[in-house]
Structure 1
């Protein structure tokens, strides 16, 4: 079991969160993962791993219908030049595989930030740290989970064009 998945599941149980995990074929994109759950992206999230020029590791989570605003992330976390992490960095620096970026559950040194709009969703779909599963959780329980992991909550998204 991946360390991220293990930490995430431990926290979900410790916080008595109501959640459900569905296993499916590997999905590398939000759209593919949504296909296993519903015909649209309502409640789905995009969890994106970022690296900063100074070496910071960040996971940013936005609603599936939004785009990540890198400038907002940069400003919120006082980063110099954030960029998307490579597939190799996902494994070596974050401990997850492509399509398996979870919003929380990382080892010390990975900063997590969630867009405020995610917490307003009734139901949230996230990757639990592997690309062949989707975890369903309420917005209320996800807020508790994010707080448990010390996740920053701010506006880091913009609407899709």
Structure 2
């Protein structure tokens, strides 16, 4: 099952309403903003960083566009100093396209680090895999999705 199909199945399995739009490939924030305007999407853009840890472990940091990673906080949460994984690792281990990492639907060994700042907004906008699709999900419903995932989940707060 593709990452896109897994994301839609997760949302449907947990009765989480979503809006999906199809558009040109979004691989940068200016294009994402243009798509948001054209389709009237609400909420904030997600930013997902695929991280590599010692011992072959990986994690996906899910935060907001323009947020800077707090590497000390990430190290404390994960028990090891993370670094950004290579594009090859991202593609091989998640099926994501570089510059378009999807936050959800990954194998359970990939830890999820969720920026609690996401919940300061009404909606989250993210790619479900292919850069030609965007999902809009209410953050109130997103909590149910995250709680249902098999991945280890860590709460994180961006230091602005």
Q: Is TM-score (shorter-chain normalized) higher than 0.5?
A: yes
Equivalent runs, 1:1-161 vs 2, <5 Å? 2=2, 4-38=3-37, 43-79=44-80, 81-149=81-149, 150=151, 152-159=153-160
**Local SS of the residue matching 2:10:** helix
RMSD: 2.1
**Local SS of the residue matching 1:158:** coil
CA drift at 1:120: 2.4
Deviations 1:112-134 (A, max 9, x none): 11111112210110111221111
Name the CA distance, whole Å, in 1 between partners of 2:119 and 2:152: 12
CA drift at 1:151: 5.4
CA drift at 1:138: 0.3
Name the CA distance, whole Å, in 2 between partners of 1:98 and 1:73: 21
What TM-score comes out, normalization by structure 1 length? 0.86
CA contact (8 A) 1:116 1:153 kept: no
**Local SS of the residue matching 1:8:** helix
CA drift at 1:32: 3.0
Deviations 1:48-90 (A, max 9, x none): 11111321111001122422222212211212x2111111111
Name the CA distance, whole Å, in 1 between partners of 2:72 and 2:45: 22
CA contact (8 A) 1:99 1:130 kept: no
Name the CA distance, whole Å, in 1 between partners of 2:74 and 2:58: 12
CA drift at 1:98: 1.3
CA contact (8 A) 2:110 2:152 kept: no
Q: Which runs of 4+ in 1 moved over 4 A?
A: none
CA contact (8 A) 1:5 1:130 kept: yes
Name the CA distance, whole Å, in 2 between partners of 1:151 and 1:120: 22
| Stretches of structure 1 lacking an aligned partner (at least 5 in a row) | none
| Stretches of structure 2 lacking an aligned partner (at least 5 in a row) | none
